[in-house]
Amino acid sequence: MQELSGDKTSRACWSLMGLPFDQVDSGQAVEIIDRAIKARRKCFLSTPNLNFIVQAKRDQSFFQSVLFSDLVVADGMPVIWTARLLGIPLKSRVAGSSLFEILQNTRRDKPISVFFFGGQGTAARDAAENLNRKSVGMIACGALNPGTGSVESMSSDEIIELINRAEPDFLVVALGAKKGQQWIMRNRERLNALVISHLGAVVNFVGDSVQRAPLRWQQLGLEWLWRIVQEPLLWKRYFFDGLWFLRFMVSHVLPLAIYQKCLRRTASEGLSLDMVADRGDGMRLVLAGSATVADGALLKSSCLRLLDELQPGARVSVDCANLDYIDSSALGTLMLLKANILRRGGGFELCHLNTRIKRLVHLHGADEFLLE
């Protein structure tokens, strides 16, 4: 079962289009959220769709907000289609709005308290009123539209105190994906909310200002068309995101599907791994053979042990000189490892990569982070 912690690499993550995605379905994601609330543990949930991925590729702080999340789910059919083509076991879309709908319609002894932050006009207030009128599993404890200022102006002591006084279990942010993720990253340590997520569409859906696409449209990947009909100004975003997706498919995904199939025929079986002291208080992780999901438990446990033994601010190098294959699962684990090391103020590098490993990392879209 999924481990929930912002400082662990035991999550079952896969690198897809350059981002780490947790291998969970809707039911498992809901269970993780429920467990976080019951155990009083914080959980930063990110729900990347295609537009989310495009923006993350262009903005470093936006990209880091996904890396530093505690749970990352695939909220978009293009993400699922790409996973299927590459043999990555993300079998179904996990939409943030669907997770919220399940939570609000699941009766529990103590309802989950929700604070709506953002939205246009009275959307947050309308969502709170509707939630209290209709939900059997949630109760709104507050709502606030902070206006259209900067992230800094929306992060005042007064605003943070207002949210904290409401004591929400779940803080729903709706400021636009980029600004919303930035706001969460800036304030997550100051907020006492247990689960925090940017779910802009949820405010509109719960407040009845926008109707969600029928289930069949969602399953066919046509929710974007439904949204354009209701919000015509979105056409430009979907058009340019679609162009980016087509280019990425041609330049990365299709070549990767062919390349990794060829490499699997000649790659050695099994992963050998060694961890040694390096450069004073640094550590070196030496990989050899094939780093795949088959040996995922070995790689994850080694990364966990490394993090436990690593001094704050220390540097980690991952030696790939004798590595002849790496899959999306291993790359996802290494992305989480680097993210955890960076959060501790340390350094990370992949070193001694041969041509095939460099090409695999590039085609997975992970080179901009792992090789920087």
Tens digits of residue pLDDT in 75-108: 988 999 999 999 999 988 999 999 999 999 999 9
333 pLDDT tier (thresholds 50, 70, 90):
very high
**Scanning the structure block, which residue is given the tokens 């279990």?**
169
pLDDT band at 211 (very low <50, low <70, confident <90, very high): low
What was the pLDDT predicted at 3?
Answer: 41
- 195 in Cβ contact with 52 (< 8 Å): no
Which range is least confidently modeled, 1-15, 269-283, 312-326? Answer: 1-15
5 or 329: which carries more pLDDT confidence? 329
**Residue among 79, 72, 66 at smallest CA distance from 17:** 79
Any idea which of 171-185, 211-225, 332-346 has the lowest mean pLDDT? 211-225
Which residue segments constitute the domains of the chain, with CATH numbers given?
A: 13-241 (no CATH), 271-370 (3.30.750.24)
Region of 269 (left: φ > 0; alpha: ψ -120 to 50; beta: rest) is beta
Please state, in angstroms and as integers, the Cα–Cα distance from residue 294 to each residue in 19, 167, 270, 299, 326, following that order.
21, 43, 8, 10, 11
Residue type, 109: D
Phi, psi (deg, nearest 5) at residue 107 = -70, 135
Rounded to whole angstroms, the Cα distance separating 326 from 175 reads 38
Average pLDDT, the chain: 90
DSSP class per residue in 86-140: HT----S---HHHHHHHHHTS--SSPEEEEEEE-STTHHHHHHHHHHHH-SSEEE
Mean pLDDT of 145-157: 93
Q: Give bridge partners of residue 282 from the DSSP assignment.
A: 278
- Binning pLDDT at 50, 70 and 90, where does residue 4 land? very low
DSSP alpha helix (H) spans, the chain:
26-39, 50-58, 60-67, 77-86, 96-104, 123-134, 157-166, 177-187, 200-206, 215-219, 223-230, 235-248, 254-266, 296-309, 328-343, 355-363, 367-370
Strands 19-22 and 13-16, how do they pair?
antiparallel
pTM beyond 0.75: the answer is: yes
pLDDT value for 225 = 76
Provide the 3-class DSSP secondary structure of residue 351: strand
- Residues 71, 218: Cα–Cα separation, whole Å: 22
Q: Is 204 exposed, middle or buried (0-12, 13-18, 19+ CB in 10 A)?
A: buried
> What per-residue string of b and e applies to 171-192 under the rule 16 or more CB within 10 Å gives b?
bbbbbebbbbbbbbbebbeebe
pLDDT at 280 over 80: no
